[in-house]
Amino acid sequence: MYEEAPSAAVPGAVLWRVRGNGGAVLPDGCMDLLWVDGRLLVAGPDTGPHPAGEVPGGAFAGIRLAPGTAPALLGVPAHALRDLRVELAELWPAREVRRLAGLVAGHGDPRTGLEALAARRAAEAGPPDPLAAEVVARLRAGEAVAGIAAAVGLGERQLRRRSLDAFGYGPRTLGRILRLRRALALAGAGLPYAEVACTAGYADQAHLAREVRALAGTTLSGYVAGAAGAKRETSEPSGSRTTA
Last residue of a domain, one of 125, 140, 172: 125
The candidate with the shortest Cα–Cα distance to 66, out of 214, 237, 241, is 241
Query: How many other CB atoms are found less than 10 A from the CB of residue 170?
Result: 18
pLDDT digit string, tens, across residues 55-96: 988 889 999 999 999 999 999 999 999 999 999 999 999 999
Q: What is the mean pLDDT of residues 22-39?
A: 92
Residues 96, 151, single domain; the answer is no
Tell whether 39 and 68 lie within a shared domain: yes
Count the residues in the chain.
Answer: 244
Q: Which of 62, 92, 125 is the last residue of a domain?
A: 125
Strand boundaries in 21-148, DSSP class E: 31-36, 39-43, 59-65, 85-87
Q: Compare 19 and 204 and report the one with higher pLDDT.
A: 204
Task: Provide the 10 A C-beta neighbour count for residue 36.
Answer: 18
Same domain for 145 and 192, yes or no, is yes
The domain boundary, picked from 62, 90, 125, lies at: 125
pLDDT at residue 98, as a whole number:
97
Residue 49 pLDDT level (bands cut at 50, 70, 90): very high
Residues 135 and 219 in one domain: yes
Give the model's confidence band at 243: pLDDT under 50 very low, under 70 low, under 90 confident, else very high: very low
Q: How many domains does the chain have?
A: 2
Q: What confidence tens digit (pLDDT) does each residue in 100-123 have?
A: 999 999 999 999 999 999 999 999
* pLDDT tens for each residue of 8-17: 999 999 999 9
- For residue 15, give its domain range: 2-125
pLDDT greater than 50 at residue 236: no
In a domain, 240, yes or no: no
CATH classification of the domain holding 151? 1.10.10.60
pLDDT over threshold 50, residue 53: yes
Q: Is the dihedral of CA 25, 206, 67, 231 positive or negative?
A: negative
C-alpha span between 30 and 14 (Å, rounded): 10
Q: Based on the domain organization, do 144 and 212 belong to the same domain?
A: yes
Instruction: Indicate yes or no: pTM above 0.85.
Output: yes
